[in-house]
Amino acid sequence: MVLNNKTKFLEGSRAISLTVSNISPEVVSAYPITPQTHIVEDLAQLKAEGKADFEYLRAESEFAAASIIVGAAAAGSRVYSATSSQGLILMMEVLYNAAGLRLPLVMTVANRAVGAPINIWNDHSDAMAMRDAGWMMLFAENHQEAVDLHVIAYKLAESYNLPVAINVDGFILTHSYENVIIPDKKTIKKYLPNYKPAPGTYLNPQKPITLGGFFTPEHYWREKKKLDEDLKKTGASLSRAYREWKKILPSPLSVKPIFDNGLIEYCGPKNPKTILITMGSVAGTIKEVLKKEKNSGLLKIRSYRPFPAQDIKRIIKNCPRLAVLEKASSAGAYGPLYSDVMSSLPQYQGLSSDHIIGLGGRDISTAIIKNIIKSAGKAGLKFW
């Protein structure tokens, strides 16, 4: 344990903003939207008080904020932004461009429902809207995981020239308080050195290059194929980067899982009768329930993109019943997480169930989790 990194009792947004400040981005730009606002307010305050030296650029919209950090990244800067819900939707054109231009953006998404009807509470509808944009997408269960994933995200983004989104459940994580270790700048530098983009990857008047050229069909598909291949390759690097970071700053706050390679985490018996599969903060509620449900296990997906299909197969093995719990629906079809899981496990089509939970911030009680365990394995889709 690094002695100068002490445990603090902090709001999730504050933990994220302090971590981002210690990572030392050069350019920060965002537009306020609930429940992300505290993050960028804190960063603006740190800048105003002279405690941070990044350039803080106020934008007139989320589209503008995303465009600013794309431009700054294209010029070779380490950048950061944050958004939620409709703000993320407004950014969508720029998000696709960021991935297609191979720019190492890092952005926090404080997950919130997408209207209409208008709703400011948490679910994963916004994140699912960007799942095909070409970004790495990581989901945090708690404050400490959110902090860790932001540091790891910069390592991956700058190694692969790919954008990374860290998803944290709005209000549940952004506005709650937990004990958390904030790594200081010295600790982060051991893991993440100053950003020095490789020549030919950023705009430089002395050595001109083209970013975002016009591609004909013959060349366009090749670029999309390369993006897909490179995004999939980041899985092994994420696992390695996660292990390296946890050696520098191990967390004493979480229950040690049976399996954790950075992409997924499994808690429960070695031969469970039921496995629940989910992402985000609801994993904490499930862990509480499983303390008394000795025949059930939890498979938590931390990396949604790249999707860890092979790792999921490794854990599932011959478990007779699966239940996917997700905070997003795909109108007219099964939920997006369920669809991804089943594409990896077609043999479980009749032994698995899809449970849409927590939409628009609906409470996810321990009673609901227990009922899902009882009904697991009965094929079908159910809203709770």
Domain match, 267 and 237 both: no
CATH code for position 161: 3.40.50.970
Q: What digits encode the pLDDT tens for the residues 210-267? A: 998 899 999 999 999 999 999 999 999 999 999 999 999 987 655 679 999 999 999 9
With respect to residue 119, please indicate whether it lies within any of the assigned structural domains.
yes
Q: What digits encode the pLDDT tens for the residues 346-358? A: 889 888 999 999 9
Domain match, 114 and 216 both: yes
Q: Give the 3-state secondary structure of residue 193.
A: coil
- Containing 252, the helix (H) or strand (E) segment is none
Q: Give the 3-state secondary structure of residue 260.
A: strand
With respect to residue 360, please indicate whether it lies within any of the assigned structural domains.
yes
pLDDT at 253: 55
Domain match, 286 and 331 both: yes
Give which of 207, 136, 139 is closest to 172, Cα–Cα: 139
Domain match, 185 and 271 both: no
Distance CA 326, CA 372 (A): 12
Residue 26 has pLDDT above 70, yes or no: yes
Q: Which domain, by its residues, includes 35?
A: 7-248
Tell how far CA 136 is from the center of its chain.
Answer: 8
Residue 275 has pLDDT above 80, yes or no: yes
Q: What digits encode the pLDDT tens for the residues 96-126? A: 999 999 999 999 999 999 999 999 999 999 9
Q: What percent of the chain has pLDDT over 70?
A: 98
pLDDT at 318: 87
Within 10 angstroms of residue 207's Cβ, the number of other Cβ atoms is 9
> Is the pTM higher than 0.95?
yes
Domain match, 274 and 305 both: yes
- 137 close to 131: Cβ distance less than 8 angstroms: yes
pLDDT at 351: 85
pLDDT at 245: 97
Angle at 336 between CA 332 and CA 337, to 5 degrees: 145
Q: What are 59's two structure tokens? A: 């934008």
Q: What digits encode the pLDDT tens for the residues 323-376? A: 999 999 999 999 999 999 999 998 898 889 999 999 999 999 999 999 999 999
With respect to residue 56, please indicate whether it lies within any of the assigned structural domains.
yes
pLDDT at 378: 87
CATH code for position 311: 3.40.50.920
Q: How many domains does the chain have?
A: 2
Give which of 66, 68, 8, 14 is closest to 45, Cα–Cα: 14
